[in-house]
């Protein structure tokens, strides 16, 4: 079942930065929380907000369609990061979120993220058709 997505809905979650979420080019050994990993965690927070509150039917989920995020500060491996997502706009099945990440000292990232609500079986069918077209291209 899909419930109407409400502006103002929020989700917070915490993660511990792992070695697999770091850059590999700054210096040898464990580095800092990478921008792609931070964005991935922000996206997952938004996805979980939708799944937990509005998309409890397993045939419905969401996919990311837009990311506009600033990575503001470096965060070391092992540090706990709090992620926040807030619904700020709903247009049909397109949902826009404010996102934020903080460590125990400061805000480390913020921005906007958009997700589209999808019917998973229909999405998979379209995707499989694309695969066949690409194989014949």
Rounded to 5°, angle at Cα 49 from 44 and 53:
150
Count the alpha carbons within 13 Å of 13 in the hemisphere toward its beta carbon: 17
Can you tell me whether residue 91 is helix, strand or coil? strand
Average pLDDT of the residues in 48-59:
96
CATH number of 10-135: 3.10.129.10
Model confidence pLDDT, tens digit, residues 63-116? 999 999 999 999 999 999 999 999 999 999 999 999 999 999 999 999 999 999
Please state, in angstroms and rounded to a whole number, the distance separating the CA atoms of residues 69 and 26: 21
* Sheet bearing 10-16, strands edge to edge: 10-16, 80-91, 94-102, 107-119, 60-71
pLDDT value for 19: 86
């Amino acid at each position: 079942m899909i419930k109407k997505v409400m502006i103002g809905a929020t989700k917070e979650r915490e993660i511990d930065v792992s070695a697999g979420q770091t850059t590999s080019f700054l210096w040898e050994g464990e580095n800092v929380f990478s921008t792609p990993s931070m964005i991935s965690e922000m996206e997952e927070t938004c996805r979980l907000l939708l799944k937990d509150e509005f998309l409890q039917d397993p045939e419905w989920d969401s996919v990311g369609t837009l990311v506009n995020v600033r990575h503001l500060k470096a965060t070391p491996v092992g540090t706990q990061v709090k992620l926040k997502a807030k619904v700020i706009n709903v247009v049909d099945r397109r949902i826009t979120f404010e996102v934020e990440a903080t460590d125990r000292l400061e805000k480390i990232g913020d921005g906007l993220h958009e997700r589209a609500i999808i019917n998973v079986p229909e999405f998979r069918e379209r995707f499989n058709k694309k695969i066949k077209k690409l194989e014949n291209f």
